[in-house]
A and B are shown apart, each in its own frame.
Chain A
Amino acid sequence: MTFSLVLEQLLNGVQLGVMLFLMAAGLTLIFGVMGLINLAHGSLYMVGAFACAVVAAATGSFWLGLAASLAFAAAAGALMEVVVIRRLYGRDHLDQVLATFALILIFSEGTRWVFGSFPLYLDIPQLLQGAVPLPGGTAYPLYRLAIIVTGGLVAIGLTLLISRTRLGMRIRAGESDREMIAALGVDIRTLYTLVFALGSALAGLAGAMVGALQSVQVGMGEPILILAFVVIVIGGIGSIKGALIGALLVGVVDTMGRFLLPQIVGLFMSSAQAGPVGGAIASMLIYLLMAAILAIKPRGLFPAQA
């Protein structure tokens, strides 16, 4: 095992973490401000990927596709908020879970209805093709580096938005006291729709960026949705900082686990058995991590003030 391999795996972990952060940031924002669990967040991720693939195929430009993914996901999110989600704010979590579970079914089958059952094609833009050299003599895909940079920029942008702008002030106020902010004359309905659209746009962006690396297909949002929930629960629901740290933690632990566990297990048993056994433990690892963290800190690492 060389230094460069470990470095590459660390970068992979960070990149996965950044993607998860884009998903988790929206989820945690929506929960923090509106107190809503949105299982259909993964559907918005799928909407972003499909919008990007379709627009990129029609225009030949990935960048237009990326813009479309933001626009479509934000629009789909806003629509979803106005038509359905708005009626769920006062309800308990049980109703929210069921309603957004129903939305997953509708979005998935609806997308298949429109686009068919076969995966769509979406390629990495010409500008970001190929790999760049790393210290230690290996190379790393440029596109993955670009994802890391984008995620970093989004994290900074979100922090500035929340701490420096008028909208951010209202979001913070909404998190700490919902009745009060309404009493102060802020148009709470518009604020909620805006926050929801913002979270949706981030999910759409994540979907579009990942879509170029994977297959754009129905159901692509579900695995990452579960991971994003693990992230926000580890980080503390409602906390952007918690989402960022949780996402990086999950990304790195998952990647390193898949990489190292089979080798560690290999020290104790034959290599033919070590692969499957190590792989099995690796796939359970982040859930173990989450259970361990919650057992010690039941409200996550950075609990937002209730």
Chain B
Amino acid sequence: MISREFLINGVLALLLLAVPFIASAVGQPFTITLATRIAILALAATGLNIALGLGGLVSFGHAAFFGVGGYVAGILSSHAFSGDPMIFGFEGSKQMLLIWLTAAIVAGLLGLLIGVISLRTSGVYFIMITLAFAQMVYYFAISWPAYGGEDGLSIVVRNQFPGVNTMRPLTFFGVAYGALIVGLGLFAMIRDSRFGAALQAVRQNEVRVASVGISPLPIRLTAFVLSAMMTALAGCLYADLNRFVSPSMLSWHMSGELIVLIILGGTGRLFGPVAGAMLYVVIESALGGITERWQFFLGLILLATVLFARGGVIGLLAGKARHG
């Protein structure tokens, strides 16, 4: 039987895909940029959703991975552009696929390091220690002069994807949208796999899982690392969208925003991050055009969502989740 949530997911996916084409047809090119931004933020939040939604690991430091992804893209392409070799004579790259791979590896290693230490803690301690690590990366990026420090790093020409021209807004949207769909597919695969079942079991009752001989730590660590890698990939795309990276991608506000996207859409839901990102970006750009006090009203909307619309957008539309 096709569930209501499944239908809503399909509608959301088609809507996001259709908007840029309509916008392009009626001559509203900026809407394509907005849709691309939604796709990228949704991908970043889907990454976080692996740790947060499935594993119950409230990471308040995912901006670290998002920013690291951005910086990998920025650094590799700036070296490729200027021709200065990096370490080991590697000349950087302007190929998105290679950049994504590098970003995933770097963020995975960073996630492993942060995860090994952070996962010794739980609850509020986990929230705060992940925040602390992200702050470390943030201050490091600000004070590290080689790649612009606080001024950030410009990507002069958008990186390349085999066979297409990424400078065309619609094409770049296609790349980002494709990445989002693959990311959502991976999320669904993880959720429905044996690993995913174990991860969700650990979230719901750690003691019982431990008592049947499964150690929770490796499961959580794997989820955390996967989550970091996917968020970093979104970071690469975000850098390419803006053609710019800066430490603000690493700030705790960014971590907060990623959490906001998930809750706004519906925690633990496959399409929660997509719905959340759509709503967030639309609110931001609509309110920002009306009043410079937009953050005040954004705050009110977020507050109302937490207090009165538990389960977020998807929860409102599709009813209660099947599993807790």
Contacts and interface: CB of A to CB of B under 8 A. Distances in A.
Q: Is the interface of A mostly helix, strand, loop or mixed?
A: helix
A98 B310 CA distance: 12
A87 interface: yes
A106 B299 CA distance: 5
Given A280-B143, A300-B125, A94 B300 contact: no
Contact of A98 (B135, B293, B306): B306
A226 to B, nearest CB: 7
A97 B128 contact: no
A211 B267 CA distance: 39
A84 B296 contact: no
Interface in B221-267: 252, 256, 259-260, 263, 267
B86 interface: no
Given A109-B296, A291-B132, A102 B303 contact: yes
A104 B257 CA distance: 13
Nearest to B53: A94
A301 to B, nearest CB: 12
A102 B306 contact: yes
Summarize B's interface: helix, strand, loop or mixed.
helix
A291 B143 CA distance: 20
Contacts of B199: none
Given A113-B293, A280-B144, A93 B123 contact: yes
Given A287-B132, A291-B117, A226 B303 contact: no
Interface of B: 52, 58, 60, 117-118, 120-125, 127-129, 131-133, 135-136, 139-140, 142-145, 252, 256, 259-260, 263, 267, 293, 295-296, 298-303, 305-307, 310
B259 A237 contact: no
A37 B135 contact: no
A180 interface: no
A48 to B, nearest CB: 20
Given A102-B306, A299-B125, A276 B145 contact: yes
A229 B60 CA distance: 12
A283 interface: yes
B60 to A, nearest CB: 7
Contacts of B135: 226, 284, 287
Given A93-B58, A279-B143, A108 B295 contact: yes
A233 B296 contact: no
Contacts of A277: 143
Contact of A95 (B131, B256, B293, B306): B306
B299 A102 contact: yes
Interface in A71-108: 84, 87-88, 91, 93-95, 97-99, 101-106, 108
Contact of A104 (B259, B299, B307): B299
A98 B260 contact: yes
Given A102-B302, A108-B295, A280-B144, A233 B58 contact: no
A192 to B, nearest CB: 17
B299 A109 contact: yes
Interface in A112-159: 112-113
Given A84-B307, A294-B117, A233 B263 contact: no
A276 B52 CA distance: 36
Give the one of A94, A237, A276, A300 with max B CB within 10 A: A94
A88 B310 CA distance: 12
A106 B296 CA distance: 5
A284 to B, nearest CB: 5
Contacts of A37: 124, 127
Nearest to B60: A97
B124 A93 contact: yes
Contacts of A93: 58, 123-124, 127
Contacts of B122: 298
A164 to B, nearest CB: 29
A283 B139 contact: yes
